[in-house]
Structure 1
């Protein structure tokens, strides 16, 4: 599980400065262990941050490709993009042939992968 993170872009900076200024930091003087002092300092900072800074979930993961595409197809798509960039720079016949062949292969592979994906979903 990924914890929520502080969204400092939407924080109330003036309130944050005010809370940092008004906090009594004298309790750190009485702690002789550096590790303990650090833990107490960060605990106090987290209390202030949770009061002044909103959180956002870091679990938002958006897939770049649909779930039916496997690693081979994704690798072919990236190779096709490289060939397309190379084709834009210098238009030679060999690169054009490779690009067209790979594009056709990707279309067929995606069609097969999608049909398999739909079949698996129907079985569930």
Structure 2
């Protein structure tokens, strides 16, 4: 009985923390495009935005910009450590650039990332590991 009450109390407490900080779909225009993409990625749940445990990023990669069906896209991936013990998570997102509004947003289209050359993405590691 006590364990059940503790679990319910913990669930309400964690739910309140997570609900107050939703992951942004778009971001404001400030900084270099790569820094803006890094901040957008770090605001996502899959990149540890609502993690209670500090996370650390290694081997971050970015591809793009590249054109796909008249869209300008970037693909971001990394090895994230901290939320799972001993095994790195490998989050990945696809970011679309809206040049008219000078904004970036996350889209759901993982298939476009295959076959594109990636390069190191130290901006994600610098911004993400600073807070950890």
Is TM more than 0.5 here? no
By relative contact order (CA 8 Å, sep 6+), the higher-ranking structure is 1
Structure ranking higher in strand proportion: 2
TM-score for the superposition, normalised by structure 1? 0.23
TM-score for the superposition, normalised by structure 2? 0.22
Higher-Rg structure is: 1
